[in-house]
Amino acid sequence: MIEKDPSREILVKWDENLIETKMNKYNFTFTVVLNDRPNILMEIVNLIANHKISITSVNSYEVKKMEIE
């Protein structure tokens, strides 16, 4: 999708000092669209966990290629 519409890509940064020094709770939902490969969900979850961000739930599903074009 990014190749078709680069404006959909967003850069996300966390305030590392705030995360390290203060317990904050914010609920948010985000969507990740990617090409499937082994362990990709684990990599994403680990990346988030490494920043001390808790995950309360994950939903995943496969979309056929022609459904996202």
The verdict on residue 60 lying in a domain is: no
Q: Are 35 and 2 in contact (CB under 8 A)?
A: no
Beta carbons within 8 Å of 1's beta carbon, 6+ residues apart: 8, 33, 68
Distance, CA of 2 to CA of 49 (rounded, Å): 25
Choose among 21, 28, 69: nearest CA to 48. Answer: 28
Whole-model pTM?
Answer: 0.54
Domain around 11: 2-50
Q: Note the pLDDT of residue 67.
A: 58
Asked if residue 55 is part of any domain, the answer here is no
pLDDT score for 66: 60
Question: Considering only CA atoms, which of 65, 1, 67, 69 is closest in space to residue 33?
Answer: 1
Q: Is residue 33 part of a domain?
A: yes
Whether residue 35 lies inside any domain: the answer is: yes
Does residue 65 form part of some domain? no
- 42 assigned to some structural domain: yes
How many structural domains compose the chain? 1
69 within domain boundaries: no
pLDDT along the chain (69 residues), means of 10: 74 75 74 86 89 85 70
**Does any domain span residue 13?**
yes
